[in-house]
Structure 1
Amino acid sequence: MAERDSLRRQLQAGAQGLGVILNDSQTELLLDYLFEFAKWNRAYNLSAVRDTQQMLGRHLLDSLAVVPHIAGDRLIDVGTGGGLPGMVLAICYPEKSFTLLDSNGKKTRFLFHVKTLLGLANVTVENCRVETLQPPALFDGVISRAFASLADMTRWCRHLLADGGMFYAMKGQFPEAELEQISADYSLNQSFELNVPGEEGERHLLLLQPRSACPATATATQ
């Protein structure tokens, strides 16, 4: 109980530092998710991070950092692993629909378990390769966290994106070379430098759109 109280305070302070408002229910759901993640991690190897407090910063707060920048009603988290950032975003945005996709069956079993345990009706879990997914409706946003290069992400996931939709790529250092590789086909709509409380290292969120969908879009960096 003392550990949960300490983590709750750390989560609330971190979310506040990121400009993310969590109600009591969302805070408890995020903590429930964190403890299930830590428990299943011992057998399913969801993350190389083993310490729960480190998981809170490295995974929960890192995922919460993108919350202010997400738009659209239907989103898919490709290569979600243990649900990062998709499960966190689903808790923060109960009115939006999230599909969490991963080809690893152990990880998607964990995601089904968490979805059921936490009662997240806005989450759909897909266990397949992204190239094979044929969704009944296309997505307003495709998000990934350290899933692949920008070239691979845009190539493998383009068929999932609705007209006017956006790629949300979570990266470490600003990927100049990767952006150059896709510059003929994709426009950098916005770039956000993310400062995660208590975590070192660069983090960026890149918002990309197909040039065919936004020929007049100007690049903006914040």
Structure 2
Amino acid sequence: MPDDAPARLAGALSALGLSLPDDRQRLLLGHLALLARWNATHNLTAVRDPAEMLVQHCFDCLAVIAPLRDAARAGRDHLADGAVVLDVGSGGALPGAVLAICAPGVQVHCVDAVAKKAAFARQLRAELGLSNLHAHHARLWPDRPPEPALRDLPPVTLAVSRAFGTLAEFIRLSLPLMAEQGAWAAMKGVLPEPELRELPEGVNLSAAITLAVPQMDARRHLLLLQRRSAPALA
């Protein structure tokens, strides 16, 4: 990691209105350091410069923390203690590991069909001592029971995705694992209007939140979705 990474991280947290203890900030940097090491041989992400990883991966994922906790915009605090989060197609455990570090009372399950990516999340849990981060090497299917690696998964209260397929694919693949009042959170760049017109029947957009990612010029959005038939959120 760059020498100024701790200071840049502290500045990003301040800009996002987040308060995170020093030990948790060190875990965020530890995640990126391990990702950079693995990426040299395992090709987990196209971003190879550690300084760029800090912004494009860490800060980008940190930008969703406050919106997910904001009951006024999100319908409820999706990162409350006891929540079960499914990171679909987690890649470098993003955003899963960031959520697990920032919300230690949440159980985060990273699922990826690529063995080396699930192995990375497993190693990350071991090296950083993240007992609330779980890695699963499995493929999600919209029309068949969950694979054995996922059959003991508790009902998912929030499914998240970042750079994973279309909204319809994300929802259909995760739906068999969702709790009755479960919600979806998709990290996107430009607002994907065509995808929003193709949502599965019975699912609607509950919020489209523009994200301001520190030190990033690109447009970013967080889309929150839920079942139309779900009981009203508190």
The answer, yes or no, to whether TM exceeds 0.5 is yes
Give the whole-Å Cα distance in 2 for the aligned partners of 1:135 and 1:189: 29
Superposed displacement of residue 113, structure 1 = 0.9
Give the alignment's Cα RMSD to 1 decimal.
1.5
The answer (yes or no) to whether the contact 2:158–2:182 under 8 Å persists in 1 is: yes
Give the whole-Å Cα distance in 2 for the aligned partners of 1:4 and 1:58: 14
Superposed displacement of residue 135, structure 1 = 3.8
Superposed displacement of residue 51, structure 1 = 0.7
Q: Does 1:120 align with 2:137?
A: no
The answer (yes or no) to whether the contact 2:121–2:134 under 8 Å persists in 1 is: no
Pair 25,4 (structure 1): closer, same or farther in 2 beyond 3 Å: farther
Q: Does 1:77 align with 2:90?
A: no
The answer (yes or no) to whether the contact 1:142–1:160 under 8 Å persists in 2 is: no
Correspondent of 1:22 among 15, 20, 23:
20
Equivalent residues in 2 for 1:10-49, closer than 5 Å:
10-49=8-47
Q: Does 1:57 align with 2:67?
A: no
Task: Give SS of 2:101's match.
Answer: helix
Give unpaired runs (5+ residues) of structure 2. Answer: 69-77, 142-146
Q: Render the CA deviation track for 1:90-115: whole Å, top value 9, x for unaligned.
A: 00011111001101111111111110
Superposed displacement of residue 200, structure 1 = 1.8
The answer (yes or no) to whether the contact 1:99–1:123 under 8 Å persists in 2 is: yes
Give the whole-Å Cα distance in 1 for the aligned partners of 2:191 and 2:124: 32
The answer (yes or no) to whether the contact 2:190–2:219 under 8 Å persists in 1 is: yes
Q: Which residue of 1 aligns with 2:197?
A: 180
Q: Percent identity?
A: 39
Higher mean displacement: 174-183 or 158-167: 174-183
Correspondent of 2:180 among 145, 163, 176:
163
TM-score (norm. length: structure 2): 0.87
Q: Tell me the amino acid that sits aligned with residue 7 of structure 2.
A: R
Superposed displacement of residue 182, structure 1 = 1.2
Equivalent residues in 2 for 1:93-112, closer than 5 Å:
93-112=103-122
Give the whole-Å Cα distance in 1 for the aligned partners of 2:152 and 2:54: 32
The answer (yes or no) to whether the contact 1:75–1:98 under 8 Å persists in 2 is: yes
Q: Which residue of 2 aligns with 1:220?
A: none
Q: Does 1:154 align with 2:171?
A: yes
TM-score (norm. length: structure 1): 0.92
Give unpaired runs (5+ residues) of structure 1. Answer: 218-222
Q: Tell me the amino acid that sits aligned with residue 195 of structure 2.
A: E
Aligned residues: 214
Q: Which residue of 2 aligns with 1:201?
A: 218
Q: Render the CA deviation track for 1:134-173: whole Å, top value 9, x for unaligned.
A: 3442111000001110111111111111011110011111
Give the whole-Å Cα distance in 2 for the aligned partners of 1:23 and 1:185: 40
Q: Tell me the amino acid that sits aligned with residue 89 of structure 1.
A: L
The answer (yes or no) to whether the contact 2:161–2:185 under 8 Å persists in 1 is: yes
The answer (yes or no) to whether the contact 1:168–1:205 under 8 Å persists in 2 is: yes
